[in-house]
Amino acid sequence: MELIERAIAGDAEAGRVIFPRIVEPLADSFEPDMCNVYVGVFACIFGRVLPELAGQNLIERFERVRAPRRFDGRDPARVFVLSRVTLGADVAVTSIVLDAAKKRFPGAEIVFAGPRKNFELFAGDERVRHIEVPYARSGSLQDRLATWPLLREALDHEDALVIDPDSRLTQLGLLPVCAEERYLFYESRAYGADGDDSLGDLTKRWVAETLGVDDACAYIRPPDQRVEHFDVTVSLGVGENQDKRVPDPFEAELLRALAERFGKILVDSGQGGEEARRARAVAETAGATVFSGSFATFAAHIACGGAFVGYDSAGGHVAAATGVPLVSVFAGYLCERTLQRWRPTGPAGAQIVRVDESDTHEIVLARVRQALTNL
Mean pLDDT of 341-360: 92
Q: 3-class DSSP state for residue 293?
A: coil
pLDDT, tens digit (0-9, with 9 covering 90-100), for 4-41? 898 888 888 888 888 888 898 999 999 999 999 999 99
* pLDDT given at position 16: 85
* pLDDT given at position 35: 94
Task: Tell me which fold the domain 232-374 belongs to.
Answer: Rossmann fold (3.40.50)
User: What are the angstrom distances between the C-alpha of 102 and each of 109, 191, 201, 295?
Assistant: 9, 23, 18, 24
| Cα(135)–Cα(87) distance, integer angstroms | 13
User: What is the location of CATH 3.40.50.2000 in the chain?
Assistant: 78-211, 232-374
Give the ranges where the chain is alpha helix by DSSP (H).
2-8, 12-18, 24-28, 32-49, 51-54, 58-65, 87-89, 95-104, 116-119, 141-145, 147-155, 199-211, 250-261, 273-286, 295-303, 314-321, 336-342, 361-374
* pLDDT given at position 55: 58
pLDDT, tens digit (0-9, with 9 covering 90-100), for 210-264? 999 999 999 999 997 789 999 999 999 887 788 899 999 999 999 999 999 999 9
pTM > 0.85: yes
| Architecture of the domain spanning 78-211 | 3-Layer(aba) Sandwich (3.40)
pLDDT, tens digit (0-9, with 9 covering 90-100), for 54-106? 756 899 999 999 999 999 989 999 999 999 999 999 999 999 999 999 999 99
Task: State the CB neighbour count (10 A cutoff) for residue 43.
Answer: 21
